[in-house]
Amino acid sequence: MPTKHARCSASAAHRWINCPGSVALSDQCPDPGTSSYADEGTLAHSLAELKLRHALKELTTGQYKKQLAKIQQSDYYNAEMDEATDFYVDAVLEEFAAADEGAELMIEQQLSLEQWIPEGFGTSDVVIVSNTQIQAIDLKYGKGIKVEAKNNPQLRLYGLGAAVLFGSVYDFDTVKTTVIQPRLDHVDSEVVILKELLLWGEEEVAPRAIMAMEGTDYMAAGDWCRFCPAKTRCRKRAEFNLELARMEFQKPPLLSDEEIGEVLAKADHLQKWAEEVNQYALEQALAGKHFEGWKLVEGRSIRKYADETKVASTLMAAGFDEAMLYQRKLNGITEMEKLVGKKKLAATLGDLLIKPAGKPVLVPESDKREASNTTEAAKADFTNTDDEIASF
């Protein structure tokens, strides 16, 4: 897998297209380095690539087994990753089978984006090209955030790069982008007319990429701040979130509907920002930095056994029966899926595996979920406790 990243990378396009100033600002922040989630994702991508190459007979069984054994030695490898990468390979092969006769499939295809982004490039996990359509496919191993294909700048840039690379060989007129997120059982696609995609690249991507590379001070805060290296120290984001604190709060019944809507729109950003600033300050304090008015203390902890085996033997020696000391509990669904296999568990249990209706939540109208009618049952399930009401 390629490890080099462009300064205006495709993976960060949602951020720098909306906030081109974040590129120069991020240069002033220390590199956060890798994380366990990133390392896990990298291994999953390597496993997915290996399995796909083997399925397409690009590797002999011997080569496949040798490389697989090496991957399986990693601490990040587990049954969930094995099943998730199988899901990915199946989804890719389904897309390939659905393509026109004579279609070709490329794995880890490097793409030049310099037509829109200075020094820009990217790598699409899979590219499928035929005479009527070209498709860029991206694997997302994470499960914290569901990734949609529609208007996804990263996927669109891969589509643009693939269109330019193969445009002189094939006569396609549409570009399809697909995200495969196996741990959420999620496959989503967008089909865009090639001319419209090229226009997006020229009018929206190219101008913002130039601004970013030239070090513009134009910045804007939004959900794209989530993965910005400068997110905890960015003044623009601070001003965006502190606007909420400047409101003269009264009891909710005295706020207008419009004001309540404004609070709801900003509260999520405010909470996330406060948590991230707190985490940054804690890391800095642990490294020896002092913040005026704050100090490090030992937090609360929960009692635990130093050695469970010795605890049990000590209590049994004191006359307590072993049956009194242990509780039998069925594994949770996630743990059971790892043990049995996700598909096999669902097939075996059938109606015994249920998903109750969730409690009502307020979300922006842009949310793709269908609006639900408030029922008496839902009202009864929603209890106004301190833990369940967001503190605005």
Going residue by residue through the chain, which has 392 residues, state the pLDDT in tens, using 9 for 90 and above.
Answer: 544 456 889 999 999 999 999 999 988 887 666 788 889 999 999 999 999 999 999 999 999 999 999 999 999 999 999 999 999 999 999 999 999 888 999 999 999 999 999 989 999 999 999 988 999 999 999 998 899 999 999 999 999 999 999 988 888 899 999 999 999 999 999 999 999 999 999 999 999 999 999 999 899 988 898 888 888 888 888 888 777 666 655 566 667 788 778 777 777 777 777 788 888 888 888 888 888 888 877 777 777 888 888 888 888 888 888 888 887 778 888 888 888 888 888 888 888 888 887 777 767 777 777 776 654 444 544 444 334 333 33
Per-residue pLDDT at 325: 83
Per-residue pLDDT at 352: 85
DSSP calls for 192-212: EEHHHHHHHIIIIIHHHHHHH
Could you give the CA distance from residue 57 to residue 168 in angstroms, rounded to a whole number?
Answer: 28
Helix, coil or strand: residue 287:
coil
Q: Which residues contact 31 (CB under 8 A, 6 or more apart)?
A: 229
Q: Which residues contact 216 (CB under 8 A, 6 or more apart)?
A: 20, 21, 24
What's the burial of 64, exposed, middle or buried (CB within 10 Å: 0-12/13-18/19+)?
middle
Q: Give residue for tokens 């390392």.
A: 39
Per-residue pLDDT at 384: 43
Per-residue pLDDT at 378: 46
Q: From residue 319, how far is each of 104, 310, 315 by CA, in Å?
A: 72, 14, 7
Per-residue pLDDT at 122: 92
pTM for the model: 0.69
Could you give the CA distance from residue 359 to residue 377 in angstroms, rounded to a whole number?
Answer: 10
Strands 174-181 and 121-129: unpaired
Cα Rg for the chain, rounded, in angstroms?
A: 26
Token pair belonging to 248: 């003269």
Residue 332 contacts residue 323 (beta carbons within 8 Å): no
| Nearest to 226, CA basis, from 215, 237, 236 | 237
Q: From residue 106, how far is each of 128, 141, 176, 190 by CA, in Å?
A: 6, 20, 15, 19
Per-residue pLDDT at 388: 36
- The sign one gets for the Cα dihedral 120, 124, 129, 135 is negative
How many distinct helices (H) and strands (E) make up the chain?
A: 15, 5
- Residue 283 one-letter amino acid: E
Q: From residue 174, how far is each of 114, 131, 246 by CA, in Å?
A: 21, 10, 48
Write b or e for each residue in 111-139: b if 16 or more Cβ atoms lie within 10 A of its Cβ, otherwise e. bebeebbeebbbbbbbbbbbeebbbbbbb
Domains of the chain and any CATH numbers: 13-213 (3.90.320), 232-286 (no CATH), 308-352 (no CATH)
C-alpha dihedral, 211 to 213 to 216 to 220, nearest 10°:
70
Q: Compute the half-sphere exposure of residue 36: CA atoms within 13 Å on the CB side of its CA.
A: 4
Cα-flanking dihedrals φ and ψ of residue 189, to 5°? -135, 155
Could you give the CA distance from residue 346 to residue 166 in angstroms, rounded to a whole number?
Answer: 42
Could you give the CA distance from residue 39 to residue 351 in angstroms, rounded to a whole number?
Answer: 37
Per-residue pLDDT at 45: 97
